[in-house]
Every structure is written in structure tokens, then in C-alpha cells.
Structure 1
Amino acid sequence: MKKLVVLGGGESGVGTAVLGKKQGYHVFVSDLSEISEKYKKVLLHHAIDFEEKQHSQDKIFEADLVMKSPGIPDKVKLIQDLKHKDIPVISEIEFAGKYTDATIVGITGSNGKTTTTLLTYHLLKNGGLDVGIGGNIGDSFAKQVAEKSFENYVLELSSFQLDGVEDFNSHIAMITNITPDHLDRYDYDFSKYIASKFRIAKNQTKDDFLIYDADDKVITDWLQNHPVASTLVPFSMNKELEYGAFLKDNNIIIRLNEEEYIMNTSYLTIKGKHNTKNAMASMLASKLLQVRNSAITESMSSFEGAEHRLEKVLKVEGVSYINDSKATNVNATFYALECMDNPTVWIVGGVDKGNDYNDLLPLVREKVKAIVCLGLDNQKIIDTFQNVVDIIVETAGAEEAVKVSHKLAVKNDVVLLSPACASFDLFENYEDRGRQFKEAVRGL
């Protein structure tokens, strides 16, 4: 019996363990941290062997195959040792992909991938397709392959998940955009990060499709120098295209295979230029999978958006509070600030992944009346913006940040949580940060 070792007892790890057991592997799950009760129950229910708070190397090195969770960097000594012993180390996506014949829509990018994944899923499901959603969002892809076997999957794929891909393929791949992010995992080399994103097209053939932002110079330059085998399906806000999607006079126009479909942007429930792009990408995928035009238009006007992504929380004394906790990099915050039409109190900060805040200066100058820092080390933020914004206040948690913002804001202002940073200094993750923010707002 072949041995599968799963490193990490979270959503992707436990899902892989369940699928591995079903496929006849002897499975062992190992986690350096404590495994949460929710996941322990699943492992016990399936009689899967596991350990926590340690990695027993003797057991791990007996593996025929290792699946590592996306949070574990390749540079870790244990992973390097496994590779030296020629034990294959793959991702959950790679493992689960071997056991499904489903049509896969894989979505990656530095920003917009969660919204685009949710929107594509919404369009396909309402269009009558049998479809599951997974990857970096929702239930583990592997667990769904083990238990549900949908005909189609929409998967949000991070660069970390794509790093572990060898044979996995998306029939429809999407790259929303590429901006510097997570460079600490890529030796601070942007080209390595770009290459990681493009692994989504690595196994595509001429019968597959790559949907991408034709206005993104990083993507178009890379494609010129590294051609892919698949059919290119571009979208653009700036130029008319013979094939793909583009914007003209407030209409999204989609041209595929001699057919033209036009939808006015007034049907979009999600606002901002970046969301128009996310909509174009999702609509292209839906059209390629034969969803009817009427179903697409209807679904667009009923889509609610992602939690923690420009999520309207409450209006208190005429001040709007917006939760954009999912903005963990500068580019995401750029989109958020671009959408603000009223004077804004901006809550920013956390674990900086090598951010360059200079791109935000013009928007901050135009829109931000005060900055409230929410992080353990805010010096870089203060240094960048002290000459642009008169009021900069440091706070030590979500509740304090909200109280200070409440004092600084007046009627018709906006208080925007858009941190541009990871959350691990004060919170468990960006969801925890967003929930604490919302609770604090409701407590005003």
C-alpha cells in the first residue's frame, strides 16, 4: 500500500487526507501546530493517522508521496530534505486533479481572484451547470473530489498552490492581473513570482483557453517572451478587440466565435474599474462554457460580492464604514481608494510584505483626510504619508482603530479598513481582522 504523508492539518491537508484514504493510500497527517477540533473530528471519523505539534521525520521520510499545505514555504529544511531523497512533494490541487475528469476553471492573479472566482461560480451555477467552488476559498477541492464529484469546478489558485503543480490543468485558466506580492517567498525576485502565476497555463493545449487582462503590461510582456499553447482570450478596458471582451460606451462587449454579446455596465452590482475587469473575465468563462446570455445578465445583477472585500458594514451618524480587510497588498488598497467618492478616514497597516506605498500617494492626497494605523510597526506608513495627510494616529487593535476613526469622521465621510498588509501581527487572518472591525463598528 502506497504511503501518502500530508503536511498541515488544515482545510487543504485534511481534504487531501480524506481523498487519499478513499484512493487506497495509507495516509499520515503531520502538523507542527495544534490541529483544530473541527479537523480532528474529520480525521478520527475517517480513521486517519495523525500527529500534531511535531513532525516525526522517520514516519515522514517513509512516504511515497508528500502533499504540503500552501502555507509551508519550499525553503523549509524538511521540504528540502524530502526533495534530496527524491520523495515527490506536491500541492492539494495537483493531487486532487488526478482523481477528477471535471472541467476546471482555474483563477489566479495578485488581486481580484476571490471576487472573480465567486462571480464565475455564481454565473455557472445560475446558468444551470453542475459546479463546485474551491481552491483557496471554501471547502477543500480534494474533499469535494472525494465526496461530491461535480462536473465542473471553479478554483481560486494562489501562487503557492501553483508552485506544487506538475500535471494539473485548467481547461479555462484566468490571470486577473500580476503585481508584486508575496515576494518574500520568491527571493524578492518579481520574475519568479510571475513564472509561478503562469504555471496555471503550463499544461494547457490548443483546446484550452487562457483569459487574461490585455491592459496588464506584466502579463502581455511575459506572454510575448513565453508563449503558451492555449487559445488566448484577452479582455480590455482601453481597446476594442476582435476576440475577447472590451468596454465601449459603458457597455461590456464580448466577441467569441463570430458571436457578439453586449451588456450595459449598469447591470453590475460590484463597482469600480477593477470589478468591471473581474466581470469581463467571468463572463468570458461563462460564454466559453455555453451559458446563455440572458442567464449571464440576470446573474450579474444578483451577485453580492465577497465578504471583507469593499463590504459595506453600517452607516453610523452619517458616516459609512467599509470593510476591505482582504486588501493585503498595495494594489488591492489602490482599487479600494479609487472607489471612494467621499472624504476618507483610512485604516491601514499590519505585516508589510515589502510594500511600496508610493503608488498610493496621488489617491491618498486626493481622498484621505486622516490615517489610522493598525499594526505593530507603522514607521514606513508614517514616513510615506506624513507630508500628505495632516492626521496620522497609531492604534493597537480593531476596536481602538474604529473608536479613533469615529472621532475623526464627520457626516458624509467614509471610514475604510483597507490595510494593504497581512494581518498576522494582531489577528489570526484577514477574516478575523474584518470580523473584529465589523463588531467594533456595530458596537459604536
Structure 2
Amino acid sequence: MGKKSLNITVLGAGESGVGAAILAVKLGHQVFVSDGGPIKDSFKAELDAAGIEYEENGHDKARILKSKLVIKSPGIPEKAAIIKAIRQRRIEVISEIEFAYRNTDATIVAVTGSNGKTTTASLIYHIYKKAGLNVGLGGNIGNSFAKMVAEDPKEIYVLEISSFQLDDCVYFAPYIAILTNITPDHLDRYDYKLENYVDSKFRIIQKQEKTDHFIYCADDPETLKAFARKKIKSNAHAFSYNHKVDDGAYWNEEQQHITLTIDEDPMNIEDLALQGKHNAYNSMAAGMASRLLNIRKETIRESLSDFDALEHRLEPVMEIHGVEFINDSKATNVNSTFYALESMKKNLVWIVGGVDKGNDYEQLIPMVGQKVKAIVCLGKDVSKIHTEFEGVVETITDAHSMKEAVTAAYKLATKGDAVLLSPACASFDLFENYEDRGRQFKEEVRNL
């Protein structure tokens, strides 16, 4: 961005917005932060400490339109009035990810996809840390990328990146880009067109060069379809559960282990900490991203066998009178819930519902018919869930709070069953976010 001081507005004062503002001030720019809603006290304290001007519960349009650059938080849709006004003025709009990228020379490993991106990014970070690398983890998970660049610079960043963050990336080009899979998600933000969402995901490789790497799933139909119509400059490496791969990774069905073939010297990994087909995919991608940075095989093996499961992702909570409670609050789309149901061995009482992002529940019907004995619908509008599963599951009941949902599920379960919170929906109707939903679930289970 050069040394010239710019007049910058940051829209949205959450984790990413505050991080971007802190980096911008450190670089000597004039910064104003504007949030259409209230700003959390913890974020206000950070802005005050950095001497950054901000406003909340509305936008000073005249002031914002004088900006040279706008850094937009991923949650703000294009149809927002303030964005339309900024676009009309032809002011450059970028994401916090793009802004941080322009101001660091670190090696970037970026993970996107509809499902598995948090687990994959966390696995890679775990391996890199174990290998003694100077690495940070951030993006859509935990820390703001920009704030790390400003306050705690690393040689390598592992970033989980959502499609919304990619939408406002221009020059962003990770050394290693990973696309876990593409299933219909957030279609409400993409004019209900899957192709628009796919294009958004593929922005992760749009500026990659011949020396960069792209890791993708060879079993994912949407990825393959897009692959055929995209020009890909970087070195592409596939991973597959269904067939052998020469330059990538695959699941060896006979031996029940994964094999990495991404370099001359293939390696097998027998002992995976995370079970289930979806986790085999995540482990393959993480193993490949580690071999590309020449991390020792022993370190990769060890890391993939001693990794702890993530909070809110098929997280065992506790067992009460022989009923197991599992928190999968992070399953905010249908495909994520499909994986959760697929990996369950017990009869299930399933807690589902929330803000529907254009969900198609049809693909879940066979799995639900096989594994689910009762459904508890949690959310303000659950009519679609009733319509979809009424002929499939005998008992469907509604709950309007987490306490109600957990109590109802516990009553419906018998010894040897599991109660699974896997909502397949966003959380914003009753909760702050999926973490809040997961924590409330755990609290109510402990209160039983």
C-alpha cells in the first residue's frame, strides 16, 4: 500500500474490523470505524486504547464517502444501503484478509470450503506448532489476521477463510490454498445461485502463481465441475476417499489408513485421532499441507494421532443415565449435519433448527430414517423441518429455548441412545452465534 497515509473507513467493529483498524493505524493511516449496530464493550476498549475514532448504531454516510479505502467486515451484505452508496462512488472495498495480506510477507496457508475448514485449519496449525514453526492461526477462526500482522507477526499464518471474506479479496494469493468441498450454503447471499457461491470459493486461487499449491477434494462434484471451467495456474494436488491418487493423498480401504503421495516418498498414516470419513478428508488435506513445507513424517504422524477434537464439533459433553449428549453446534448447514449423522453408531434424538439459509433437507432423509428415533425442532420457524421429516420420524416436537430442547430430548431418549445437537442451520434467531448455542447446550445438559 506504500507509505502514503490514507483516509480509511472500517465497516463493522467485530473481531476482523477491529483488527483491521489496529493494523491501519499502526501503518500510519487515518482510520474511522463505523458499525450499523452496537459495538461490544471489549472491542470499544481496544479501539479506545489505540486512539481510533468510531461510531455505532448507524453510519455517518457523508464522512464514509470521503474515504479512499473501505475495509468491509464479512457479515455485511452487498445489498446494504451503505455498501451500495460506497460502490456508486467507486471507492475501493476490500476485506480484512486482503488488507492484512497486502501488509505481510509471511507464508500463507489458507483453507476454505463448506465443511471441514475449521478442523483442517486447526489440524495444520497443530502439526506446524509441533514442528516448531513460527505460526499463527486466524481468519474465520479466532484471531483477526490483520491484528496478528499488527501485534504478533509470524513467519507463517494458517487461515480459515469463508466465502464472504474471499468476496472482497483482490490480490490475496496463499502459498497453499485448500478447498475442502463445496455444498450449497449461504445461498441467500449469492442470489440463490450455486454457481455464484462456487465462484466465490474459487477466488482463493485466483491470484496464485506457478510456484503455489492448490489442494482439493477429487470426490467433490461441484469442485470438479468448477475445475473444468477455471484456469488454474498453481500446482493442483487432489485427495480422495474413493480412489488412488498419484500426487496427493487417498484412503487405503484395505489397510484402513491414509496414504500421502504428494512427494516422491509416499507415507502411510495409520492412527488418526479423529474418526469418520469426513475427518479422513481433513487429515489428508492437513498432511499434504505439512509435506509441502517439508515437515518430517514422524511429526505429521504424531500430530494426526494426538489431536484433540474441537469444541462444538461432534464434541462429547457427558453421559447421563446411559444417554450420551453430543454438541455439534458448528454444523450450520445440511452437509455438516449429514457427516455428523453418518458418523453416529447409536439411536439418536436429534436437535435441529435455526435460521434456514435455503436448506434442502432431502439428502438427509435416508440417514435420518436409519438413525433418528425422535426430532426436537429448536428455532422460531421450523415448519420446513416438520414438512420434510413428518413421514420419516414418528416423534417430532418443538422447543423455543435450549433448556426446553435439552429437557425434551432427554425425555425422548432411553438408555444406550445419544442426543445430538446438529442444527444444520445458522443460530441467529435465538443465539448470538454457534458458540453461544453450543455453550448453552452444554450448560443445560449439566443442569439436567
* Category of TM-score, reference length = shorter chain: over 0.9
Seq. identity, %:
54
Q: Is the 8 A contact 1:310 1:336 kept in 2?
A: yes
Q: CA deviation at 1:405?
A: 0.8
Counterpart of 1:252 in structure 2 is: 258
1:196 to 195, 200, 207: 200
**Out of 64, 68, 74, which is 2:68 matched to?**
64
SS at match of 2:273: coil
* Equivalence for 1:342: 346
How far 1:240 sits from its partner (Å)?
Answer: 0.7
Q: Do 1:118 and 1:305's aligned partners in 2 also have CA atoms closer than 8 Å?
A: no
| Other-structure match for 1:119 | 123
State the TM-score, normalizing by the size of structure 2: 0.98
Aligned residues: CA RMSD: 0.7
The letter for the 2-side match of 1:291 is I
Amino acid at match of 1:261: M
Is the CA contact 1:322–1:416 (under 8 Å) kept in the aligned structure 2?
yes
1:330 aligns with 2:331: no
1:38 and 2:42 matched: yes
Instruction: Pick the aligned partner of 2:273 from 254, 269, 273.
Output: 269
> Is the CA contact (8 Å cut-off) linking 2:273 and 2:308 kept in structure 1?
yes
User: Equivalent of 1:380, from 361, 384, 394?
Assistant: 384
Aligned partners of 1:311 and 1:322 also within 8 Å: yes
Contact 1:133-1:139 within 8 A present in 2 as well = yes
Cα shift at 1:227: 2.6
Give 5+ residue unaligned stretches, structure 2: none
Kindly provide the CA deviation profile for residues 23-67 of structure 1, in whole angstroms up to 9, marking residues without a partner as x: 110000001111111111111111011111110011101101000
CA–CA distance in structure 2, aligned partners of residues 439 and 257 of structure 1: 46
Aligned to 1:147: 151
Q: Deviations over 1:242-261 (max 9, x none)?
A: 11001112121111231111
1:400 equivalent in structure 2: 404
* 1:84-141, Cα deviation, whole Å (9 max, x unpaired): 1110010000000011111000100001101111111101111111100010011110
The amino acid of 2:283's aligned partner reads A
Map of 1:208 onto structure 2? 212
Contact 1:119–1:305 under 8 Å retained in 2: no
Q: Identify the residue that residue 186 of structure 1 maps to in structure 2.
A: 190
1:82-161 counterparts in 2 under 5 A? 82-161=86-165
**1:367 counterpart residue number:** 371
Q: Residue 443 in 1 paired to residue 423 in 2?
A: no
Which amino acid letter does the alignment assign opposite residue 258 of structure 1? E
Q: CA deviation at 1:305?
A: 2.0
Aligned AA (2:131): G
Return 68-77 or 196-205, whichever deviates more: 68-77
Report the AA paired with residue 87 of structure 1: I
Runs of 4+ in structure 1 deviating by more than 4 angstroms, as ranges, are: none
* CA offset digits 1:299-324 (Å, max 9, x no partner): 11211122101000000001100000
Give the alignment's TM-score, normalised by structure 1.
0.99
| One of 423, 427, 430 as aligned partner of 1:423 | 427
Unaligned runs of 5+ in 1: none
Do structure 1's residue 22 and structure 2's residue 31 form an aligned pair?
no
